[in-house]
Amino acid sequence: MRDFRDAKVMAQTLRESLKTKSVSITHSESLELIARSFGLPDWNYLAARIQADQSASASSAAAVVAAVPASMPPGAGVPIVAMRDLVVFPQMVAPIFVGRDKTRRAIERAVATDGRILVVTQRRAADDDPALDGLYSVGVMASVIHNTTLLDGTLKLFISGHDRSVIVRPVEQDFLAAEVAPLEQTSGHGAEAVVLFRAVLEAYQRWANVDFSAVPLGPQARLRLPSMEEPGALADAIAPLLPIEIEQKQQLLETADVVARLEAILDLMKTSKNAA
């Protein structure tokens, strides 16, 4: 089965499939549609993910013996990466840039162990050295999938978000770290969630001016278009794309009830459409 690394081939397949239905789109438009089908904002994000995967594969092939990261020492806590103006959602892949020494030390610990970090948004973007109480309490557990140091010394990472997590208590380190617990989703598999899934998907297609129904069933499966079995995943794929404030995105992240999150997404799309 194809995955995100086959994006350009999928874009070509999509164009050819739509052409048989007298629907014409450009190569760039097909790439953007493929990126959105993976829950990413645009082609630049997907291209970055492909590049990160290729770089990681090349590094692995060059190594004679693959190093296995050590487990995080008991009581060490999870390293925290504080974001000024970005809210990371589950399943989201994003590039981030690290310049602060404390955050760099957190990344170094994560890379040296199991690669896990907790990505949390700052309450005040202007805060250059936030303490734990200067962060929101809910973030996303993520993996560092690639990192490199730029010429100016900035550390560039590609991260992949996994699950919502809540900070339980701080852990003393020379960087931000804490014990965390998963924030479980609720109401994600009932009839109401299914109805809202359909409503949100239809609203998103109008809002983004895309039409998933024009894609034949075969390519739909290969493109991994949103599944009715995962209403929460649909909400999390759309949330980062909405032109809303950081505080509103954080509120969506903290909404563990899938039905409530879908309702909020629907309202926000209607509001942004009316304001446009």
**Domain range spanning residue 218?**
191-275
Strands 78-83 and 116-121: parallel
The pLDDT value recorded for residue 209 is 83
CATH number at residue 222: 1.20.58
Residues 169 and 236 in one domain: no
Residues 119 and 214 in one domain: no
On average, the pLDDT of the chain sits at: 81
The pLDDT value recorded for residue 67 is 40
Mean pLDDT, residues 51-60 taken together: 55
In a domain, 235, yes or no: yes
The least confident of 50-64, 114-128, 204-218 is 50-64
Type of residue at 165 = S
The pLDDT value recorded for residue 68 is 41
The least confident of 125-139, 217-231, 262-276 is 217-231
Residues 216 and 130 in one domain: no
When divided into structural domains, the chain yields a total of 3
Please, are residues 141 and 116 in contact by the beta-carbon 8 Å criterion? yes
pLDDT beyond 50 at 66: no
Residues 57 and 98 in one domain: no
pLDDT beyond 70 at 272: yes
Q: What's the CA gap between 10 and 17, in Å, rounded?
A: 10
* Residues 16-43 pLDDT 10s: 766 665 567 777 777 777 776 665 666 6
Reported pTM: 0.71
Domain boundary among 157, 182, 207: 182
% of the chain with per-residue pLDDT over 70: 72
Residues 199 and 177 in one domain: no
In a domain, 71, yes or no: no
* Residues 151-198 pLDDT 10s: 988 899 999 999 999 999 999 999 999 999 999 888 877 889 889 999
In a domain, 69, yes or no: no
Please, are residues 165 and 118 in contact by the beta-carbon 8 Å criterion? yes
Domain boundary among 134, 165, 182: 182
Domain boundary among 165, 182, 199: 182
Q: What's the CA gap between 269 and 208, in Å, rounded?
A: 10
230 pLDDT band (50/70/90 cuts)?
confident
Residues 108 and 162 in one domain: yes
